[in-house]
Amino acid sequence: MAKQYKTLGEDIWKNRVETINAELFIFTYGSIVAQLVKDFEDYEQVNKQLEKMGYNIGVRLIEDFLSRSGWGRCTDFKETMEVISKIGFKMFLNIAPTVTNWSTDSKVCSLILDENPLNDFVELPLDTQHKLWYSNILCGVLRGALEMVQMQIEANFISCVLQGDDISEIRVQFIRHLQEELPNADD
């Protein structure tokens, strides 16, 4: 099963995705974050803003993802996470984070980002120690995308190589299934 995700992800990446220059992408994201830091002067706020931006990306991106991958309904949260990692991340960033550290009730897990293209070239200012999550936009994307398929989740970075940690880890927590609710307005 796991292999099937991987092959599909790679197939989509190779044949059905238009790529852009990596540096263009990295520098664009970099300057957005740097500008936010300059404007808000508060890393908490910057994290929040990045998450919001990611949310707005996510609610749109899920449609693109589903139509491109042709993937149907997932049976459980575990499968969802595998699909996100092996197909979703692969499709848009060409990385496949490891899904691991499942809690016993299968509601909380970790995405370990072995590599993160957003991080390239980046060196955080010295005073950001464990305050600024540079790639926090990813958490927002996850939340936005899953909300559109009636799943409420919460995603947070708990460690990041840019902060001097050994690995970058996003903790994803499943909260509940949304029943026939309208999505929240863009905030």
| Residues in contact with other proteins by the rule CB under 8 A | 27, 30-31, 33-34, 37, 120-126
Nearest approach, Cβ of 175 to other proteins (angstroms)? 33
Tokens at 144, concatenated = 């936005």
Of the pair 164, 183, the CB lying nearest other proteins is at: 164
- In b/e form, how buried is each residue of 71-83, taking b as 16+ CB within 10 angstroms? beeeeebeebbbb
Of the pair 165, 181, the CB lying nearest other proteins is at: 165
Nearest approach, Cβ of 168 to other proteins (angstroms)? 17
Nearest approach, Cβ of 52 to other proteins (angstroms)? 19
Of the pair 34, 149, the CB lying nearest other proteins is at: 34
Which long-range contacts does 86-89 make (Cβ < 8 Å, 24+ apart)? 86/2, 86/5, 86/6, 86/8, 86/9, 87/5, 87/8, 87/9, 87/12, 88/145
Tokens at 34, concatenated = 């740097």
Nearest approach, Cβ of 139 to other proteins (angstroms)? 19
Half-sphere exposure of 45 (CA within 13 A, CB side): 9
Of the pair 47, 80, the CB lying nearest other proteins is at: 47
Tokens at 121, concatenated = 């070239």
Of the pair 5, 157, the CB lying nearest other proteins is at: 157
Nearest approach, Cβ of 123 to other proteins (angstroms)? 5
Q: What's the full length of the chain, in residues?
A: 187
Please say whether the beta carbons of 162 and 122 come within 8 A.
Answer: yes
Nearest approach, Cβ of 120 to other proteins (angstroms)? 8
Of the pair 37, 109, the CB lying nearest other proteins is at: 37
Please say whether the beta carbons of 148 and 115 come within 8 A.
Answer: no
Please say whether the beta carbons of 33 and 50 come within 8 A.
Answer: yes
